[in-house]
Amino acid sequence: MARQTISVNEPNDRWMKQKIEENEFSSKSELINDLIRRQREQEEERLWLRNELIKGENSGLSNKSMAEILAEAKQRVKNGQ
């Protein structure tokens, strides 16, 4: 694992120490890695959503009713798509 040195301001340092004292994390390294992982996941979700919106815009108009669209969406969720 790569070793890094970072500086944080006092409020952030207190917050990290509190999280460790509350046993949410065993170390500052674990906490920072978790924060980075969550940020990366959020970025991936935003990118996925952006791409889905672009695909939707590019697909044009639909002749389907809202009920039909909703039923199809529910079926896709049920099928894990």
pLDDT of residue 1: 82
Sequence-ordered alpha helix ranges (H) in 1-81: 10-21, 28-58, 66-78
pLDDT of residue 16: 98
With vertex at residue 30, the alpha carbon angle to CA 27 and CA 36, rounded to the nearest 5 degrees, is 140
- The mean pLDDT value for 19-31 works out to 98
Grade residue 30 by pLDDT with cuts at 50, 70 and 90.
Answer: very high
pLDDT of residue 22: 98
Grade residue 80 by pLDDT with cuts at 50, 70 and 90.
Answer: confident
Query: Cα–Cα distances in Å, from 39 out to 32, 42, 43, 54?
Result: 11, 5, 6, 22
Please state the pTM of the whole predicted model.
0.70
Over pLDDT 90: what percentage of the chain?
Answer: 89
Asked if 35 and 24 count as a contact pair (C-beta separation under 8 A), the reply is: no
